[in-house]
Amino acid sequence: MNDGASAGGYAGQVLRVDVGGGSSRTERLPGEWIEKYVGGRGFVAKILYDEVPPGTDPLGPLNKVVMAAGPLSGVFLPGSGKTHFGAKSPATGGYGDSNIGGHLSPELKMAGYDVLILEGAAADPVIVVIDDGKVSVRPGGEYWGKGCIEAETALKRDLGEDFEIAVIGPAGENLVRFACISHDFGRQAGRTGIGAVLGSKKVKAIAIRGTHTIPLADPEGLRELGKSMYRACFSKPGFREWTPNGTAGVTDWVNEIGAFPTRNFQTSYFPEYKKINGDRLRADIHLTDKGCMGCPIPCGKYSLAKVAEGQAHVEGPEYETIAMIGGDCCLADINEVGYANYVCDELGLDTISAGNVAAFAMECYERGLLTEEQVGRPIAFGDLPSVLYLFRKIAAREGIGDLLAGGVKAAAEKIGGGSERFAIHVKGLEWTGYESRYAPAMMLSYATADIGAHHNRSWAITFDVARGRGKMEGKPEKVVELQHVRPLFDCLGVCRLQWVEIGFDLEWYERVFPLVTGRKVSWDDLLRVSERVWNLTRAFSIRHVPGWGRAMDRPPARFLEEPVPDGPAKGHLITADQMSELLDNYYALRGWDNNGRPTRGKLEELGLDDVAKHLWG
């Protein structure tokens, strides 16, 4: 099945689809990929590095969209529903990837494939249908223009309820650079604009149905260890305490420590946070929990949000949406946040970037850098119609929406007037739900995350709180450690929240890996894989984006020069000198040079000799 490199865990095949020509072909999953990159994010990074050369237009036909499962995806163990998408990012121009929960990767593996690669571009809208071994590229015009949820509903009606579907909305069709991919009525691969890459290929949807068994090296052993893993989750206090509110439950804590994005990150405390927290979500709008494949702690909260404009079923809002549309746009009503979440979901906008961009526009308007004439109406923080207006204009690329559809970095370059100081992004990717002026490890995490400002590579803010908010010592070490542990879950194809949120022990993964794959590898071996992938994605971006390095590993000026004005973090910031010192230590720990480039020695040590040649000749 796969060069004999693994006895189980992999379907053993890679599916390539030429969406323009409509043809597809199947390749054996290379054993080298399994050994050096494991799966998921590792496969995405390897494929993009090898097959998308520098100079490629992210929205041109030579970019590729990769969807990959990990060896643990779809297996009977906690949180096995994760899928990894990747492409050269239209938001940053560098390596882009985004993770999604639900049921896609299990279905892909049951259809016979670990990896799907979409190549080329269609002239007219298409859908890609994978039904076990039968692959087809079909006309998709009847779905084009529909919202994500509307289109998914129609596709399930037309193809069958048992298809798992990934779909883009109008934002993706219109090449908005923070367009997401949607699945299962409200889950998203939100970040880095991969929805726009699908849109550029005229691919409205990917529909998958599979019936094959996912091979296991030791089915009986896995069954028994899997049961133990579930029982271990059930016995954790967090199983009962964390699950009812899901990720929204962290809203109170983030405000209490002064790290909640508020008013376009002007401050880090939203006085009305108790109106949009997990308790309000659970009590006021929640209908049912919605879990990914194999999940014992479903964080998906399916809700019904009611506002003056109407009512909407929505999965969420989860914490990031509460932070970026709630706090950052100052919406102080869980119904309003939920409804705005729904509008983004239907349009196919990443709620994180969309909230950040809307907040940026509202601050520009307050400061007179955007006029009522330019915007088309008055806009204001705390006003739901303003926020919805901006989202809809962006998705349609109409008027002000066209200016904002490139994200805050591109918009600030056009608006000028010093707006780049409060365009809250790193490398063109909008910042997410943790204001970090009083959290050096978290600030360093955002500055150095491989896709731009994103929290999930290293959610180090708990370490800042535990170790001392103002302290710099030990912070780079923790960031490097987390940047290897957390993305490893994305290689394995499982969710990290069992570990992060309820304290499920990491040792389980080392124990379960050989039962699934037949390969005995240590946790340290797996971390080495993760470090290899981290260096590979860094090298990709260095080769694709001039200046990707130290000069771009930095937060916006607001965070380095304006102390937090109020709330629990009042008066704090991290200076440019402190940031520089954090980076010096971080690069040294990584074996990178002072400009943030992986050294030849480090790359060769990781078995990336070809990459070393590309970077150093």
Partner 1 sequence: MRLETKDELCSGCRVCQLVCALENFEQNNPKMGLLRIIGHFPQPGRYEIRVCDQCGACRDACPVEAIYEVDGVLRVDESLCTQCMACVEACPRGVMTTHAALASPKKCILCGACAEYCPTGAIYDADTVAAEDAWRITRGEVARTVGGGLGE
- Tokens read off for 464: 């800042």
- List the x/- string, 103-142, binding to partner 1 by CB under 8 A: x--x---x--------------------------------
CB nearer to partner 1: give 311 or 595: 311
CB nearer to partner 1: give 110 or 168: 110
Work out how close the CB of 239 gets to partner 1 at its nearest, in angstroms, rounded to a whole number.
8
Look at the block and give the residue holding tokens 């040590």: 605
CB of 132 closer than 8 Å to CB of 11: no
CB of 264 closer than 8 Å to CB of 422: yes
Task: Based on the shown chain and the rule CB under 8 A, indicate whether residue 616 belongs to the binding site for partner 1.
Answer: no
Give the binding range for partner 1 (CB under 8 A) out of 26-34, 192-200, 241-249, 503-511: 241-249
β strands within 363-518, DSSP E: 425-426, 429-430
CB nearer to partner 1: give 241 or 584: 241
Task: Based on the shown chain and the rule CB under 8 A, indicate whether residue 495 belongs to the binding site for partner 1.
Answer: no
Work out how close the CB of 211 gets to partner 1 at its nearest, in angstroms, rounded to a whole number.
5
DSSP 142-195: TTTT--HHHHHHHHHHHH-TT-EEEE--HHHHTT-TTB-EEETTTEEE-GGGHH
**β 425-426/310-315 pair status:** unpaired
- Tokens read off for 18: 């030429």
What's the CA gap between 556 and 461, in Å, rounded?
Answer: 19
- Tokens read off for 374: 């330019």
Which of 75, 91, 115, 497 contacts partner 1 by CB under 8 A?
Answer: 75
**Left, alpha or beta for 497 (phi > 0: left; psi -120 to 50: alpha)?**
alpha
Exposed, middle or buried: residue 511 (CB in 10 Å: 0-12, 13-18, 19+)?
middle
CA 530, 101, 138, 109 torsion-angle sign: positive
Task: Based on the shown chain and the rule CB under 8 A, indicate whether residue 211 belongs to the binding site for partner 1.
Answer: yes
CB nearer to partner 1: give 187 or 597: 187
User: 19, 21, 39, 20: which is closest to 29 by C-alpha?
Assistant: 39
Which of 93, 172, 215, 407 contacts partner 1 by CB under 8 A?
Answer: 215
Task: Based on the shown chain and the rule CB under 8 A, indicate whether residue 524 belongs to the binding site for partner 1.
Answer: no
CB nearer to partner 1: give 297 or 411: 297
Backbone angles phi, psi at 614, to 5 degrees: -65, -40
Work out how close the CB of 99 gets to partner 1 at its nearest, in angstroms, rounded to a whole number.
18
Task: Based on the shown chain and the rule CB under 8 A, indicate whether residue 223 belongs to the binding site for partner 1.
Answer: yes
- List the x/- string, 144-183, binding to partner 1 by CB under 8 A: -----x---x-------x----------------------
Which residues, 416 to 445, sit near partner 1 by CB under 8 A?
Answer: none
Task: Based on the shown chain and the rule CB under 8 A, indicate whether residue 290 belongs to the binding site for partner 1.
Answer: yes
Which residues, 304 to 363, sit near partner 1 by CB under 8 A?
Answer: 304, 313
Exposed, middle or buried: residue 218 (CB in 10 Å: 0-12, 13-18, 19+)?
middle
- Tokens read off for 425: 């992004």
Give the binding range for partner 1 (CB under 8 A) out of 116-124, 297-305, 535-543, 573-581: 297-305
CB nearer to partner 1: give 162 or 372: 162
CB nearer to partner 1: give 159 or 542: 159
CB nearer to partner 1: give 57 or 162: 162
Task: Based on the shown chain and the rule CB under 8 A, indicate whether residue 74 belongs to the binding site for partner 1.
Answer: yes
Peptide bond into 317 cis (omega under 30): yes
Work out how close the CB of 236 gets to partner 1 at its nearest, in angstroms, rounded to a whole number.
11
Which of 28, 138, 287, 520 contacts partner 1 by CB under 8 A?
Answer: 287
What's the CA gap between 179 and 265, in Å, rounded?
Answer: 22
Give the binding range for partner 1 (CB under 8 A) out of 112-120, 209-217, 331-339, 372-380: 209-217
CB of 257 closer than 8 Å to CB of 465: yes
Task: Based on the shown chain and the rule CB under 8 A, indicate whether residue 284 belongs to the binding site for partner 1.
Answer: no
Which of 241, 309, 505, 610 contacts partner 1 by CB under 8 A?
Answer: 241
Q: Can you name the residues that pair with 135 across neighbouring β-strands? A: 130
Give the binding range for partner 1 (CB under 8 A) out of 40-48, 293-301, 447-455, 582-590: 293-301
Give the binding range for partner 1 (CB under 8 A) out of 292-300, 364-372, 404-412, 548-556: 292-300
What's the CA gap between 405 and 420, in Å, rounded?
Answer: 16
Helix axis angle for 351-366 and 384-396, nearest 10°, is 110
Task: Based on the shown chain and the rule CB under 8 A, indicate whether residue 212 belongs to the binding site for partner 1.
Answer: yes
| Binding positions for partner 1, rule: CB under 8 A | 74-76, 81, 103, 106, 110, 149, 153, 161, 184-186, 210-216, 219-220, 222-223, 226-227, 230-231, 233-235, 240-241, 243-244, 287-298, 300, 302, 304, 313
